[in-house]
Structure 1
Amino acid sequence: MLAHPCSVRGIAVENNYMATTGLDRKLRIWDVRNYKQLYAYTLPFGLAEVSFSQRYAVSCSVGNQIQIFNDVHLGTTTAPYMSHQCTGIVSSLQFCPYEDVLGVGHQHGFTSLLVPGSGEPNFNALLTNPYESKTQRREREVKQLLDKIQPELITLDTTEIVQVNTDLLEKENERLKLLLHTKPREVKFKPRNKKKGRGSALRKEQIKQSVQSEQRFMINEARKKLKEEFLTKETVKVEDSQKTVLDRFRKKDV
């Protein structure tokens, strides 16, 4: 992508935004999702180093001058948020994660600057916890190891994903055979007790027999359907496996 009509001096990326600086004295903000420019700011000098914070504050430098801008991704910036002059030529800039601190490397050493509102105050302790203890770090490493994909699912053969899992298919067939040869469980039903004088023993027995017959019919129908499905699979398998010399004279499906 063509970011500047001249040499690019600095690049910084944070989430969906990218900041670039060049010799044309422009600070350009880009959307890395579609590689389009959002905003461009003209500055009184050509910038060199640039850095993005977690809250989208941008720090730029040229020579020994440092300028910090807020909300550059919204297009509302009209003036620098902060300015600072170092004792030597600035060589690098970097915001500290989860802290309102900007680290500056220059000709005479290192300087840390406080930039209020530049760091992310809320963090997800399950992903990144800057204050985690030794025990928490050990637990996180164990959890990351357990979350890895199983070794049997890793393969270099890209066609294996479309193949039939024969082991699982055989286990399913064995399960169906056991279901077909298992005696159906006895249906238990106990009629609720009605008020005195409203339900006789004969009536209770009739209700019990009716419910048991209905449930037994449903179980038999399910077993019958399961048996038909299983026998159909077995028949197809046998037909595919049995071949004779006369098969060469059969018409092939086009």
Structure 2
Amino acid sequence: MSTQQLAETSAPAQTNKALAAPTSKSKRSNSKNDNGRTPEELQAALAEYGRGDQIAVKNIKDKKLRGNLKKLEYRYKAAATNAKDAEMLMEEQQGYVEAEGMERTYKFSQKDLVQAVDVSTAQKGFDLKLPLFGPYAMDYTRNGRYLLLGGLKGHVAAFDWREGKIGTELQLKETVRDVKWLHNEQFFAVAQKKYTYIYDHAGVEIHCLKSHVEVTNMEFLPYHFILATVGMSGWLKYQDTTTGALIAEFRTRLGAPSSMAMNQRNAIINIGHANGSVTLWSPNMNTPLVKMLTNRGPVRALAIDRGGHYMVTAGADARMNIFDIRTYKEVHSYFTPTPASSLHISETGLLGVGWGPHVTVWKDALKIKQNSPYLTHLQEGSAINRVRFCPFDDVLGVGHADGFSSLIVPGSGEPNFDSLEINPYETKKQRQEGEIKALLNKLKPEMISLDPDFIGRIDNASHDVRKKEHEENVKGGSAADKKMGVEGKRKQRGKNSALRRYLRKKGEKNIIDEKRLKFEEMRKEREKRQQGLPSTSKAEELGPALSRFLQPGAK
């Protein structure tokens, strides 16, 4: 029987089966939910794109509240399923270098990669020879389009590195320790010898931040418009770049910091110190949220992945440790021939390490311990100062003592991007509109915490449970009341607190006045009379009626 005859004979059977299938609403609801997805599809979408726990709507007694929450849950599920369906638009996938036979990928040099890739990608690998002003610190914008260079001896340059168009070039004639782009390519910050300055795209000085003294490391929080700096004195400071207000400043009390990194998931600042510890900071607390001992020497470099799950530390003990930030435990560790000077993790999870004159790139090194690196590069006669992956591009920027090098690293860039969030090809009008939207959606610093998902959560406890907890709190009182022996806390207005009541009651026993002495004497005389002992007070002998005729001072 041919394939066509088999299809003709099977078609009627499928039609009859479709006609015989139940069409009731109750039967359809068993296979698909309200969003038109099967339970398996909905579960997969919520696991990947869901936000927070689902609300048990059936347990809510209030009909109006139950209806509103039901609509809200439906919108959340619809958003998750639509995001899952949008994956079909992500046609691009990252490609990695693959070796054949006995070859090893880390044996491939940049010359070999330039000959193997296409012409547009090959043009992205270049070297800038600047031996007089190095070593260089560098930074990419969030869309990866612009590059900022800062030499230790005062040379600062900002340009569009893809098209080769320079925006501004400065010679500040003083030490430059770090450079950082702000919310877009229009402004950047430079940590100079004493103060921190902010310049615009034309190189004009806009602000001088005199409160940020001798800054060594800087990080910018894009959703909060906050510039975080830490200096040689050990002070961590948060500066709002929209209002110019200094939000918070804390003393780390651990000396001059050796490294600094920001967690993109929760905007927590991680600082590495000379005693081998890493502290996690938020502008809402003057003490570190978490303090971890990561190395046996000064922490020279820090890096946190895009999802905020893994942290990599490199210390002076020539050891590179990988930690799971969710559990604060070490996953595994690597050794470097010399202590690493810089670390960075790409959007796809590649780990770039700069040590001595060498640059090493590791693939899948966060979750599983690898035996060999992915790619290596030798910058002859020049020490590596900083390594940074370019967003949305297979490029690794390396700042060293002799200038800057752009290395081709296949598979390091995210091939798909959200143009409403970050657009590498945005126009001037799109940049202006994006800046306005970002300012309108600006987050408050009070929202920065270790768990960013706690905002918007609903207390799922029933009314009876909350009422019982409230009664226990009122009956038991606060911890201070229990420690002082006060039963329950009085709900009074004013300053009559439990501590004041306790101190007043305790102080009354030590106060001695004439009235209290008189009462004590009368109490003693009354006790003697009850026991049949002679009384020494004439007032007690005459009684209350005749005692008033006694002369003053008579006993």
TM range (shorter): 0.5 to 0.7
98, 101, 105: which one pairs with 2:399?
105
Does the 8 Å CA contact 2:338/2:356 hold for their aligned counterparts?
no
> Structure 1's 57 and 145: CA in aligned 2 closer, same or farther, altered over 3 A?
closer
Give yes or no for the alignment of 1:82 onto 2:375.
yes
Greater helix proportion: 1
Question: Deviations for 1:221-248, whole angstroms, at most 9, x for unmatched residues?
Answer: xxxxxxxxxxxxxxxxxxxxxxxxxxxx
Question: Deviations for 1:8-65, whole angstroms, at most 9, x for unmatched residues?
Answer: 2211112322111123332211122332222212344432221111111111122111
313, 320, 326: which one pairs with 1:20?
313
Q: How does 1:192-203 map to 2 (within 5 A)?
A: none
**Which secondary structure state, in structure 2, belongs to the residue aligned with residue 94 of structure 1?**
strand
Output the CA distance in 2 between the equivalents of 1:148 and 1:56. 28
Q: Return the TM-score normalized by structure 2.
A: 0.26
After TM superposition, give the deviation of residue 145 of structure 1 in Å. 4.9
Q: State the match for 2:346 in structure 1.
A: 53
Q: State the match for 1:37 in structure 2.
A: 330
> Structure 1's 3 and 124: CA in aligned 2 closer, same or farther, altered over 3 A?
same
Structure 1 unaligned regions, length at least 5? 150-254
**Which secondary structure state, in structure 2, belongs to the residue aligned with residue 122 of structure 1?**
coil
Give yes or no for the alignment of 1:64 onto 2:372.
no
Does the 8 Å CA contact 2:318/2:336 hold for their aligned counterparts?
yes
Output the CA distance in 1 between the equivalents of 2:296 and 2:437. 49
| 1:8 aligned partner, one-letter code | V
**Which secondary structure state, in structure 1, belongs to the residue aligned with residue 366 of structure 2?**
helix
Output the CA distance in 2 between the equivalents of 1:115 and 1:32. 27
| 1:7 aligned partner, one-letter code | P
After TM superposition, give the deviation of residue 147 of structure 1 in Å. 4.8
After TM superposition, give the deviation of residue 146 of structure 1 in Å. 5.1
Q: State the match for 2:293 in structure 1.
A: 2
> Structure 1's 146 and 52: CA in aligned 2 closer, same or farther, altered over 3 A?
closer
Output the CA distance in 1 between the equivalents of 2:333 and 2:364. 13
Give yes or no for the alignment of 1:96 onto 2:387.
no
Output the CA distance in 1 between the equivalents of 2:437 and 2:358. 46
| 1:84 aligned partner, one-letter code | H
After TM superposition, give the deviation of residue 110 of structure 1 in Å. 0.6
Q: State the match for 1:218 in structure 2.
A: none
Q: State the match for 2:437 in structure 1.
A: 143
Output the CA distance in 2 between the equivalents of 1:18 and 1:38. 10
After TM superposition, give the deviation of residue 136 of structure 1 in Å. 1.7
Q: How does 1:114-153 map to 2 (within 5 A)?
A: 114-145=408-439, 147=441
Q: Return the TM-score normalized by structure 1.
A: 0.54
Q: State the match for 2:170 in structure 1.
A: none
> Structure 1's 106 and 145: CA in aligned 2 closer, same or farther, altered over 3 A?
closer
Q: How does 1:176-215 map to 2 (within 5 A)?
A: none
Output the CA distance in 2 between the equivalents of 1:77 and 1:135. 46
> Structure 1's 41 and 141: CA in aligned 2 closer, same or farther, altered over 3 A?
same
After TM superposition, give the deviation of residue 76 of structure 1 in Å. 4.1
**Which secondary structure state, in structure 2, belongs to the residue aligned with residue 74 of structure 1?**
coil
| 2:414 aligned partner, one-letter code | E
Output the CA distance in 1 between the equivalents of 2:442 and 2:414. 29
**Which secondary structure state, in structure 2, belongs to the residue aligned with residue 77 of structure 1?**
coil
Output the CA distance in 1 between the equivalents of 2:363 and 2:340. 17
After TM superposition, give the deviation of residue 84 of structure 1 in Å. 0.6
Q: State the match for 2:302 in structure 1.
A: 11
After TM superposition, give the deviation of residue 148 of structure 1 in Å. 6.5
Higher-Rg member (1/2): 1
> Structure 1's 7 and 125: CA in aligned 2 closer, same or farther, altered over 3 A?
same
Does the 8 Å CA contact 2:341/2:386 hold for their aligned counterparts?
no
> Structure 1's 144 and 46: CA in aligned 2 closer, same or farther, altered over 3 A?
closer
Output the CA distance in 1 between the equivalents of 2:340 and 2:439. 44
> Structure 1's 58 and 145: CA in aligned 2 closer, same or farther, altered over 3 A?
closer
Output the CA distance in 1 between the equivalents of 2:424 and 2:359. 27
| 2:424 aligned partner, one-letter code | P
Does the 8 Å CA contact 2:383/2:401 hold for their aligned counterparts?
yes
Greater displacement, 20-29 / 135-144: 135-144
Q: Identity rate of aligned residues, in percent?
A: 40
> Structure 1's 43 and 143: CA in aligned 2 closer, same or farther, altered over 3 A?
closer
| 1:104 aligned partner, one-letter code | V
Q: How does 1:152-191 map to 2 (within 5 A)?
A: none
After TM superposition, give the deviation of residue 96 of structure 1 in Å. 0.8
Larger relative contact order, structure 1 or 2 (CA cutoff 8 Å, min sep 6): 2
**Which secondary structure state, in structure 2, belongs to the residue aligned with residue 73 of structure 1?**
coil
Output the CA distance in 1 between the equivalents of 2:393 and 2:413. 5
**Which secondary structure state, in structure 2, belongs to the residue aligned with residue 131 of structure 1?**
coil
> Structure 1's 92 and 142: CA in aligned 2 closer, same or farther, altered over 3 A?
closer
> Structure 1's 94 and 148: CA in aligned 2 closer, same or farther, altered over 3 A?
closer
Output the CA distance in 2 between the equivalents of 1:137 and 1:34. 39
Output the CA distance in 2 between the equivalents of 1:10 and 1:146. 35
Matched residue count: 149
Q: State the match for 2:523 in structure 1.
A: none
